[in-house]
Amino acid sequence: MLALIFLMMFLAMFAFSYAMRKWAGFKHPKWFEPYYVNDRHRKLDKWIRIPSMLLILAYSITIFSTGWVFRIPWLLQPWPLIFVHLTSIFILQAWMEKKYSDNPRAYVATIAEGVFGLGILLAALWSGVLGGSL
């Protein structure tokens, strides 16, 4: 059942992303590969991804190994860090596309994809579909 829910979420995000990229007239190079506008974008992305992933990993190991995950408020659980990480990546992508991309509508598509994807994840958490709830 959980696999079916993940598949539906993935298909919804894929369809929305495809529609937005068609509307913007922007061809994404490949799926599951990061798209960098230029070399500066690649460097800034690494400066965001590596520290935040290390922080999420260290925090999650600490929380789950001590058993605090069931006693701490929702704000201190690991998933808000994941949302901050994803939001910062989407903001960087949109900013670099607005500033350096040849297509003027590419950044709008990136913002729409980010809002839609994070909205689906928040809705799944709030509804309790993924096993937990806010």
Q: What is the pLDDT of residues 6-36, one digit of tens each?
A: 899 889 998 998 898 888 887 766 767 778 8
Residue 133 confidence class, pLDDT cut points 50, 70, 90: low
Average pLDDT over residues 83-98: 92
Give the chain's length: 134
Query: What's the CA angle centered on 105, arms 7 and 37, to 5 degrees?
Result: 80
Q: Please name which of 85, 86, 74 lies closest in space to residue 125, comparing C-alpha atoms.
A: 74
Alpha carbon of 4 to those of 75, 113, 116: distances in Å? Answer: 28, 21, 19
Is the pLDDT confidence value at 93 over 80?
A: yes
Looking at residues 97-110, what average pLDDT do you find? 88
Report the pLDDT value the prediction gives residue 64, as an integer from 0 to 100.
79
Which pLDDT score, from 0 to 100, does residue 134 have?
57
pLDDT, residue 132, reads 58
Instruction: State the pTM of this model.
Output: 0.81
DSSP per residue over 92-120, as a string? HHHHHHHHH-S-TTHHHHHHHHHHHHHHH
Give pairs for 76-82: CB < 8 Å, separation 24+: 79/125, 81/52, 81/55, 81/56, 82/56
Mean pLDDT value across residues 125-132: 72
pLDDT (tens digit per residue) in 28-77: 667 677 788 899 999 999 999 999 999 989 888 888 788 776 677 767 77
The arithmetic mean of pLDDT across residues 77-81, rounded, is 80
